[in-house]
Structure 1
Amino acid sequence: MRYSQQIKPISYLKSNAAEVMLKLKESGSPMIITQNGEAKAVIQDIASYEETQETLALLKILALGQQQVEAGQLTPVEDVVQRLKNRGKKD
């Protein structure tokens, strides 16, 4: 993805909002909005935003798991399986 083609001034956003929304939805790529020549905001369609948030959540879970492994906070798989089996019997 080339961000250089996705950089627009805020005046472009103001005068072409409907077109920008359509492009965001079609491409799934974010757009960088500038003000006075400086990047000030990034906008993206909601589906891409939700996907990004889900990805970040999964990465946080993986990082937490890695920290637990490094700290030696492990549970043998047999214990986990037994706990799951016992949980199924209670329901």
Structure 2
Amino acid sequence: MKFSSQVKPISYLKSHAAEIVKTISESREPMLITQNGEAKLVVMDVKTYEEQMETFALLKILALGNREIEEGHFENVEDVFGELDGAADQ
């Protein structure tokens, strides 16, 4: 994602809020807002934000799973399937 085409000063945000909402909602591209020449905010549509939060949650689950594996907190697949087969026989 490149912000270079979507960089605006805070004064633009203040004077063009409705236009920004329309543009971002249609394009789904975030906009970087600057204040005194420094990046301060990222404005994005809700759907994009929700999708990013879902992606972050999945990445966190993967990272936690990898940590569990690295720490040796897992069961061998054959043992798990053996337990399942044993439970099905009962």
- TM-score bin (small chain): 0.7 to 0.9
**Which consecutive residues of structure 1, in runs of 5 or more, have no partner in the other structure?**
87-91
Letter in 2 for 1:69: I
- The CA RMSD over aligned residues, in Å, is 1.9
> Percent same amino acid among aligned pairs?
54
Q: 1:89 matched to which residue of 2?
A: none
Matched pairs, number: 84
Deviation at 1:27, TM superposition (A): 1.3
**Distance in 2 between the 1:65 and 1:38 partners?**
37
Deviating runs (4+, > 2 A) in structure 1? 75-82
**Distance in 2 between the 1:2 and 1:27 partners?**
13
**Distance in 2 between the 1:38 and 1:72 partners?**
45
Give 1 or 2: higher helix fraction.
1
**Given the two structures, how large is their TM-score scaled by the length of structure 2?**
0.82
**Distance in 1 between the 2:62 and 2:2 partners?**
29
**Given the two structures, how large is their TM-score scaled by the length of structure 1?**
0.82
